[in-house]
Amino acid sequence: MSPVLQPLRDPASMEFITSPLPVDYAEAVAMQEARVAAIRQADAPETVWFLEHPPLYTAGTSAKKEDLLNARFPVFETGRGGQYTYHGPGQRIAYVMLDLQKRGGDIRKFVFNLEEVLIQTLETFKIRGYRREGKVGLWVKSYLTGKNEKIAAIGVRVRAGVTYHGVSLNVNPDLSHYDGIVPCGISTDGVTSLHALGKTVSMEEIDTVLQKKFSEIF
Contact by Cβ (8 Å): 111, 136? yes
More confident residue, 49 or 189: 49
Tens of pLDDT, residues 92-138:
999 999 999 999 999 999 999 999 999 999 999 999 999 998 888 89
Which CATH class for the 15-217 domain?
A: alpha beta
| Backbone φ and ψ of 94, nearest 5° | -125, 110
b/e code 160-175 from CB counts within 10 Å (16+ = b): eebbbbbbbbbbbbeb
What is the set of active-site residues? 184
The predicted model scores a pTM of: 0.91
Q: Is the CA virtual torsion 71, 74, 77, 79 positive or negative?
A: negative
In the predicted structure, residue 8 carries a pLDDT above the cut 60 = no
Within its chain, how far is the Cα of 139 from the centroid?
Answer: 14
Contact by Cβ (8 Å): 115, 154? yes
pLDDT recorded at residue 12: 56
Side chain identity at residue 142, one-letter code: S
Q: What is the mean pLDDT of residues 177-201?
A: 86
The CA-CA-CA angle for residues 67, 72, 74, to 5°, reads 90
Alpha helices in the chain (DSSP H): 25-40, 107-124, 203-217
Q: What is the mean pLDDT of residues 47-58?
A: 97
Confidence of residue 187 (pLDDT cuts 50, 70, 90): low
